[in-house]
């Protein structure tokens, strides 16, 4: 996957169209509640400024489904980006059209324009080629740095690459470097820790990882489907009845591949889905029929910690319990701490897992926290990422 990077191109004085991921969370008053995604785009933007490009940024925001929805405007992003750079960011009235064309034409070196939400046009998510061509006509060079959407084929990341010299930006380069290295060339033992809600969301990832890892630790609600596959009773815990057979197959596959798959031996259970419920810790063969499993137990935490300590590469996707409630956060917190302390490559993929690590204040201690939930999942599933495939190969290497 050797793609041309931004450093391979001469950008001086050129109009560079950059697909970034500015899909930030907004509150009701359109205040940005977390600007991590804007910050992640800064290395590429700063490089283009240093190299005197004319910069045209574009992104989607949320799902306006092809309609202009004023509260999904990128205006708050233009403001925040301008504060971060200490520099004007010209907000465009749209992403295509006469007025945008004219304003973009007048850009000088080191000036920045931000196009309006690409998903205000339904053509965007259809990967419409005319729409892509219109976007491409604004610029001389295309750079994709929106890792969060690389698993989608849309006009603003895939379509547009057909019409311009193209490269990946620093964020995508970094994401590929860490994720690819961990998956394809891991220092061993290589351990994956999986949790979260649904087995069905993560079947392809589990299947792919069973070809790669030495250890697979399973927590979260997902564990109950596996426990049922082993004939345990799981009370009212969240699980997928229709995936129990599949869980059996995955357990078999682990055995055949020599993967050390570890399921929890104890769980924290509650009599209702509530932080103030009655709470007990029981072994997995003792879950009463009316109770709900909401976190991994202390024996499991200790066992997982030991595996983590002995690992050299660890990929984590999915919280171990309902970490949003204090009384069920211990499993997730303990695993996060173990990852923070171990001398190993530690990679976090998945939106909720990343926000758990952030909430615990442990982000800095991880090797890499992937910025794209769905995109990192697609990566761990071993799927092709159209937003990366569309970029020109680097001809200088091999
Ligand atoms: P990610 O976004 O990291 O891929 P998921 O979206 O798959 O993770 O899952 C995150 C959610 O899983 C969290 O909101 C958490 O509350 C929930 N969860 C974890 N364990 C349980 C459990 N035992 N029962 C119900 N929900 C759980
Ligand atoms: Mg999630």
Render pLDDT for 229-257 as a digit per residue (tens, 0 to 9).
999 999 999 999 999 999 999 999 999 99
C-alpha span between 3 and 173 (Å, rounded): 9
Residue 198 confidence class, pLDDT cut points 50, 70, 90: confident
- State the CATH architecture for 178-380: 3-Layer(aba) Sandwich (3.40)
Question: Residue 296: is its pLDDT beyond 50?
Answer: yes
Render pLDDT for 130-139 as a digit per residue (tens, 0 to 9).
999 999 999 9
Domain boundaries, the chain: 6-170, 178-380
Render pLDDT for 303-356 as a digit per residue (tens, 0 to 9).
999 999 999 999 999 999 999 999 999 999 999 999 999 999 999 998 899 999
Q: Closest ligand 1 atom, CA of 317?
A: 3
Name the closest-CA residue to atom 12, ligand 1.
Answer: 196
Predicted pLDDT at 168: 98
Predicted pLDDT at 398: 45
Predicted pLDDT at 142: 98
Arithmetic mean of pLDDT, 158-180: 96
Contact 198, 222 (CB under 8 A): yes
Same fold, 6-170 and 178-380: yes
Question: Residue 295: is its pLDDT beyond 60?
Answer: yes
What is the CA(350)–ligand 2 centre distance, in A? 6
Element at 216 (helix H, strand E): strand 215-218
Predicted pLDDT at 232: 98
Predicted pLDDT at 256: 97
CA torsion sign for 227, 229, 233, 237 is: positive
- The listed CATH number (3.40.50.720, 3.40.50.1260, 3.80.30.10, 3.30.230.70) that belongs to domain 6-170: 3.40.50.1260
What pairs with residue 393 in β-bridges? 3
Q: Please spell the DSSP secondary structure of 123-184, one letter per residue.
A: TTTTT-HHHHHHHHTT-SEEEE--GGGTTS--TTTTGGGGTS-EEE-HHHHHHHHHHHHHHH
Arithmetic mean of pLDDT, 36-49: 97
What would you report as the CA-atom Rg of the chain, rounded to the nearest whole angstrom? 23
Question: Residue 50: is its pLDDT beyond 90?
Answer: yes
Render pLDDT for 145-162 as a digit per residue (tens, 0 to 9).
999 999 999 999 999 999
Question: Residue 284: is its pLDDT beyond 80?
Answer: yes
Arithmetic mean of pLDDT, 52-68: 98
Question: Residue 397: is its pLDDT beyond 60?
Answer: no
Least confident among 74-83, 329-338, 368-377: 368-377
Arithmetic mean of pLDDT, 168-194: 95
Q: Is 325 in the pocket of ligand 1 (CB under 6 A)?
A: no
Predicted pLDDT at 1: 58
C-alpha span between 63 and 177 (Å, rounded): 29
Q: Is 159 in the pocket of ligand 1 (CB under 6 A)?
A: no
Higher-confidence residue of 397 and 14: namely 14
Q: Is 281 in the pocket of ligand 1 (CB under 6 A)?
A: no
What is the CA(252)–ligand 2 centre distance, in A? 27
C-alpha span between 57 and 113 (Å, rounded): 6
What is the CA(235)–ligand 1 centre distance, in A? 18
pTM of the model: 0.89
Cis amide linkage into residue 189, ω under 30° from 0: yes
Q: Is 293 in the pocket of ligand 1 (CB under 6 A)?
A: yes
Least confident among 54-68, 114-128, 186-200: 186-200
Predicted pLDDT at 4: 97
């Amino acid at each position: 996957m050797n793609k041309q990077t931004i450093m391979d191109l001469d950008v001086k004085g050129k109009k560079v169209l950059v697909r970034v991921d500015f899909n930030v969370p907004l509150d009701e008053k359109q205040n940005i509640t977390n600007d991590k995604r804007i910050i992640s785009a800064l290395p590429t933007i700063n490089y283009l400024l240093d190299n005197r490009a004319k910069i045209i940024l574009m992104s989607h925001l949320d799902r306006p489904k092809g309609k202009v929805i004023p509260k999904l405007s990128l205006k708050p992003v233009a403001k925040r980006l301008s504060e971060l750079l200490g520099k004007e960011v010209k907000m465009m009235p749209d992403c295509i059209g006469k007025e945008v064309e004219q304003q973009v034409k007048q850009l000088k070196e080191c000036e920045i324009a931000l196009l309006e939400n690409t998903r205000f046009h339904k053509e965007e998510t259809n990967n419409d080629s005319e729409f892509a061509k219109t976007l491409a006509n604004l610029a001389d060079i295309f750079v994709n740095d929106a890792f969060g959407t690389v698993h989608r084929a849309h006009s603003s990341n895939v379509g547009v690459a057909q019409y311009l010299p193209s490269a990946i930006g620093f964020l995508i380069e970094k994401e590929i470097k860490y994720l690819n290295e961990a998956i394809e060339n891991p220092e061993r033992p290589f351990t994956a820790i999986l949790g979260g809600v649904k087995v069905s969301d993560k079947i392809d990832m589990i299947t792919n990882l069973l070809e790669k890892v030495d250890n697979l630790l399973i927590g979260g609600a997902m564990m109950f489907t596996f426990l049922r596959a082993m004939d345990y009773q799981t009370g009212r815990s969240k699980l997928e009845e229709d995936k129990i057979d599949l869980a059996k197959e995955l357990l078999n596959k682990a055995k055949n591949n020599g993967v050390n798959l570890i399921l929890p031996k104890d769980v924290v259970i509650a009599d209702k889905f509530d932080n103030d419920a009655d709470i007990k810790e029981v072994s997995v063969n003792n879950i009463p029929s009316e109770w709900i499993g909401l976190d991994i137990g202390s024996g499991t935490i200790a066992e997982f910690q030991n595996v983590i300590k002995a690992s050299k590469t660890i990929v984590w996707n999915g919280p171990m319990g309902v970490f949003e409630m204090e009384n069920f956060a211990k499993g997730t917190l303990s695993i996060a701490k173990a990852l923070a302390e171990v001398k190993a490559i530690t990679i976090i993929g998945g939106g909720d897992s990343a926000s758990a690590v952030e909430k615990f204040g442990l982000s800095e201690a991880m090797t890499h926290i992937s910025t794209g939930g769905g995109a990192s999942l697609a990566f761990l599933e071993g799927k092709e990422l159209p937003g990366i495939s569309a970029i020109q190969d680097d001809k200088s290497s091999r």
